[in-house]
A and B are shown apart, each in its own frame.
Chain A
Amino acid sequence: MPSLKDVQLKIQGVKKTKQITKAMGMVATSRLRGAQGAMEGFRPYAEKFSEVLGSLAEKAGDEASPLLIPKEAVKKIHVVLCTSDRGLCGGFNINLTDSVKKFIKSNPDPEVEYSFTCFGKKGRDWCRKNQYAIVEEHLGIVGSRFGFNVASTAGKKFVDGFLSDDYDEVYLVYSEFVSMAKQLPIMQKLLPIPPIEVEAEETTEKTEYLAEHICEPSADELLGELLPRNVYVQIYRGLLETSTSEHAARMSAMDNATKACNDMIDNLTLAYNKARQAAITADLMDIVGGAEALKG
């Protein structure tokens, strides 16, 4: 049986923890709003971009750019891993690193070399622990405000690496923001660029007017210009999604923690009151016992 003092201290401790988790949850909520705003702002660009790209891809040949052609032997795989910098967000980072682990395991070829570019400290730490080669690390980006240039400078290196045969394939791992309660780890192939699919319902109308498009320079050249940018767009989107997911994950983790604190405080208060009452009863027994003894 813990003493009264112990229980009281414990209650105070849990209350302090609750204050912290609550504050962190509130910070995550406001940051989430910012991240969602950034995602909203990006949407018109992304939509227009994929529209133009899709129609261009139809027009240009399949081999318009070396970025579209898969390498014959895949020996060097580069993974772009987007995670958060900080923890306390539930299983968020574990889910991401697990999906990488699964991917590596699913590849039966033992001679494949993996290298990593890490956005976020947690992913970097994971790579270090598992002794994967880290080509580059970018900290302080996921979860804060960042510009498109972050994605384009990083993306340029992947494109160059792919063209100079340093990488045979490049993958992007990020967390998709499905809803406040759900974030999905996604593994997406960045390079070689998978065949671009045009959404079926819109195809008919679009091909009609695009057939008349004048392109300057030629459609092939234009596509060559746009494809690397498509890689940057994907990375940027991945980073935005990961940031938003991180805040959402932290929000719900902190919410749960706050609730758990409340439960603990309730239980402890109950234990405290019980102990207090037991002490009073014992004291009373003593007094009554003493009085009886004096009477006798």
Chain B
Amino acid sequence: MAENIRLEVVTPEKSVVSEAAQIVMAPGTLGEFGVLSGHTPFLTTLKTGSLKYKDETGRERFVFLSGGFAEALPDRVTVLAESAERRVDIDIERAKAAAERAEKRMQSGSTDTDFIRAKAALLRAISRIQLAETR
């Protein structure tokens, strides 16, 4: 069994995850990537989506991420995200309401920037919902 790596997920508001993991799978902008212990130093931006990792006992855990980047080093992975939530902490009702709002705005949005923003919001809401429902 390979050694564990240290996973840190921090947002500007708080530290969300700080524990040992066997493997970490993260949604990079150029494609999903997995990190095991002994990874080459690596820096990438992340897209909205979910981060998956196996904790020490081998249980799979999920974290929702949006807007951020990750640094992988041989012994640790650090994720800096604008927002991050563990799956259990996701508020489905709120995400659904956000998705609805975003859809409405996309239909009525007058400017391009409105549209782009609404689309990003919708994407965030949808990936939250998807993650929360894959139990």
Among the stretches B35-43, B55-63, B102-110, the one at the interface with A is: B35-43
Report the minimal beta-carbon distance from B92 to chain A, rounded to whole angstroms: 19
Q: A226 — nearest CB in chain B belongs to which residue?
A: B69
Q: A44-B10, A52-B69 are known contacts. Are A215 and B43 too (CB-CB below 8 A)?
A: yes
Least CB distance, A56 to chain B, in whole angstroms:
7
- Is A212 in contact with chain B by the CB < 8 A criterion? yes
Total interface residues in chain B, CB < 8 Å: 23
Contact between chains at B13 and A42 (CB < 8 Å): yes
Considering only residues 43-84 of chain A, those with a C-beta below 8 Å from chain B are: 44-46, 48-49, 52, 56
A45 contacts B43, C-beta separation under 8 Å: no
* B binding-site residues for A, Cβ under 8 Å: 8, 10-15, 28-30, 40-45, 69, 71, 73, 78, 80, 82-83
Bound: A152/B15 CA distance, A:
19
Selected from A52, A213, A216, the residue in CB contact (under 8 A) with B28 is A216
Known: A48-B80, A216-B28, A216-B29. A233 touches B12 (CB 8 A): yes
Contacting A45 at CB < 8 Å: which of B41, B73, B80? Answer: B80
CA distance A149 to B78 in the complex (A): 21
Closest to A215 in B: B43
Q: Which residues on A sit within 8 Å (CB–CB) of B43?
A: 52, 56, 213-216, 222
- Chain A to chain B: the 3 pairs with minimum beta-carbon distance, closest first: A148-B12, A216-B44, A41-B14
**Nearest chain B CB to A247 CB, angstrom units:** 18
A125 to B39, CA, bound (A): 54
Per-position contact with B for A183-217: 1 when CB-CB < 8 Å, else 0? Answer: 00000000000000000000000000110111111
A152 and B82 contact, CB distance less than 8 A: yes
- Given A52-B71, A216-B28, verify A210-B80 contact (CB < 8 Å): no
B82 partner residues in chain A, CB cutoff 8 A:
148-149, 152
- Contact call A210/B41, Cβ cutoff below 8 A: yes
Say yes or no: A217-B45 contact (C-beta < 8 A), given A45-B80, A52-B71.
yes
Is A41 a contact partner of B69 (Cβ separation < 8 A)? no
Report the minimal beta-carbon distance from A233 to chain B, rounded to whole angstroms. 7
Determine chain A's interface SS by DSSP, over half rule: helix
Taking A52-B71, A209-B41 as given, write out 14 further A-B residue pairs in contact, using a Cβ cutoff of 8 Å, ordered by the A residue number. Answer: A41-B15, A42-B13, A44-B8, A48-B10, A52-B80, A147-B13, A148-B13, A149-B83, A151-B12, A209-B73, A216-B44, A217-B45, A222-B43, A233-B12
Q: Does A236 contact B (CB under 8 A)?
A: yes
Task: Say yes or no for A38: interface residue by CB 8 A criterion.
Answer: yes
Contact with B along A139-172 (1 / 0, CB 8 A): 0000000011101100000000000000000000
Interface residues of A in 12-66 (CB under 8 A from B): 38, 41-42, 44-46, 48-49, 52, 56
Instruction: Kindly state the separation between the CA atoms of A39 and B11 in the bound complex, as whole angstroms.
Output: 12
Contact of A45 with B11 at beta-carbon distance under 8 Å, contacts A52-B71, A216-B29 already known? yes
Q: How far is the CB of B17 from chain A (nearest CB, A)?
A: 12
Please give, as numbers and ranges, the residues of chain B lying within 8 Å of A151 by CB-CB distance: 12
Q: Is A225 an interface residue (CB 8 A)?
A: yes
Interface contact B15-A44, CB-CB below 8 Å: yes
A18 CA / B8 CA spacing, docked (Å): 48
Chain A residue contacts of B78, Cβ below 8 A: 48
Q: Which chain A residues border B71 with CB–CB below 8 Å?
A: 48, 52
CB of A42 within 8 A of CB of B80, answer: no
Q: How far is the CA of A225 from the CA of B82 in the complex (A)?
A: 13
- CB pair B40–A236 under 8 Å, yes or no, is no
The chain A residue sitting closest to B18, CB to CB, is: A44
Give the chain B neighbours of A148 by CB distance below 8 A. Answer: 11-13, 82-83
